[in-house]
Amino acid sequence: MDLPLKFINHRIEEYALQVTYQPEEDAGDVIYNLSLVRREDLEDAIATLKHAYAAGLCVSDRVRFMNPGEETGGFIIPEGCAGICTLCSITIDAILIRRGVPLNPLGGGVVEIEGNIPTRFTTLIRYEHTTIDPLQVLISQEVTSVSGVMLHGSGTILANIRECHMEAERLIGDVLDELAGAGFTGILDVGVPNTPLLGVPPAPEYLGVALVGGTNAIAAFREAGKWAESRALKGLMNIRDMVSIEDY
């Protein structure tokens, strides 16, 4: 008989246990998302990634591009396609957990941005209620306008939220600062204890931390009418196998 389906909150914790990345040394394994684009569109995709990174809509500056036939996590990039590995925000959850922050992943959804300021979640799917990554289903609902945010600071993007215990507030601040220093620009907003963050209330004594989703650049690319597929597959990759998008 099949094993019972795994819900995303548990899957995130399992991924998080495998991350070995140390921001201070900029070394170790991180979690990535794999997306596919047409090979002839790769130049455009790189331009979109750069633009999205500059607008603060990527988890970090690190990427890896893969050619047809190359294999990652048991998946072979199909003929005619290019694979794009971008950093998944679970990497940040993992680092917080490893530093001892009590953390519960809450959910993924769509956040409205007005004048470069995140205002609220307009869509949310809670991790403990789903076996499929919310952002993977939401990217194809035509509910984002990531390009709007890139071009004039207003629109909607993919994002996720977790809650951390307020006892760890200082530690969270330290870790996030460290991460920002290592090229992790995807921190969207950090709340105050016992107060809803972007419309999502945390548990008592907890505070919310919202991060941008790892596939916003791909969402922007799709909004431009290009074909792109965000694979459900996530995997583990050494950060040294990735390069900065700014090098392109």
Report whether 35 contacts 222 (CB < 8 A).
Answer: no
Q: How far is CA 242 from CA 14, 27, 234, in A?
A: 22, 11, 15
Q: Work out whether the CA dihedral 179, 183, 188, 189 comes out positive or negative.
A: positive
Angle between helices 216-223 and 42-54 in degrees, nearest 10: 120
Q: How far is CA 217 from CA 45, 155, 178, 225, in A?
A: 8, 14, 24, 13
Nearer to another protein, 130 or 147 (CB): 130
Nearer to another protein, 129 or 240 (CB): 129
Applying CB under 8 A, does 120 fall inside the site for another protein? yes
| From 11-19, 94-102, 117-125, 162-170, span contacting another protein (CB under 8 A) | 117-125
What whole-number distance in Å separates Cα of residue 24 and Cα of residue 45?
30
Place of tokens 């070995």: 20
Q: Which of residues 129-188 bind another protein (CB under 8 A)?
A: 129-132, 136-138, 140-142
CB of 196 to another protein, least distance (A): 7
| From 19-27, 41-49, 124-132, 176-184, span contacting another protein (CB under 8 A) | 124-132
| From 30-38, 95-103, 172-180, 192-200, span contacting another protein (CB under 8 A) | 192-200
Angle between helices 90-98 and 8-18 in degrees, nearest 10: 70
Nearer to another protein, 161 or 179 (CB): 161
Q: Given candidates 61, 112, 163, 223, which one binds another protein under the rule CB under 8 A?
A: 112
| From 59-67, 86-94, 106-114, 236-244, span contacting another protein (CB under 8 A) | 106-114
The residues that touch another protein, with contacts defined as CB under 8 A, are 1-5, 107, 109, 112, 120-132, 136-138, 140-142, 195-196, 198-201
